[in-house]
Amino acid sequence: MKKLNILWTAFASNCLLEIHEYLLEETKSETIANNYCNKLIESVEYLSTQPEAGQIEYLLHKLGQNSRYIIEGNYKIIYEYNEKQIIITDLFHTKQNPSKIFTRNKK
């Protein structure tokens, strides 16, 4: 399979920024915040050659979306894909109420 392009939605990019800001505030370490966010980004890069690696996100399937997810640390990285690209739609903390995913991901 060829390598697919990766597209981060504005919402997902903002989630990544919020994670970075939270970690920076909590740890007072730019290095820790950068390393954690880089780990999230690297796990997404893996999807460019293995788009079906993630599990189907059944909560969003009920909304008619063909979303999948992978877990990295405490975050669920939600994405969709087609023959050309991986689309990162959300980064969702796994300790949040799962029903919150509906309000965050309605199209």
For the domain spanning 5-104, the CATH number is 3.30.2310.20
Residue 25 has pLDDT above 70, yes or no: yes
pTM assigned to the model: 0.84
CA nearest neighbour of 37 among 11, 53, 54, 13? 13
Query: Tens digit of pLDDT for each residue in 71-100?
Result: 999 999 999 999 999 999 999 888 865 555
DSSP 64-107: T---EEEEETTEEEEEEE-SSEEEEEEEEETTS-TTHHHHHS--
pLDDT for position 2? 83
Query: Tens digit of pLDDT for each residue in 56-73?
Result: 988 776 666 789 999 999
What is the C-alpha separation between 39 and 31, in angstroms, rounded? Answer: 12
Mean pLDDT for the stretch of residues 13-19: 96
pLDDT for position 60? 77
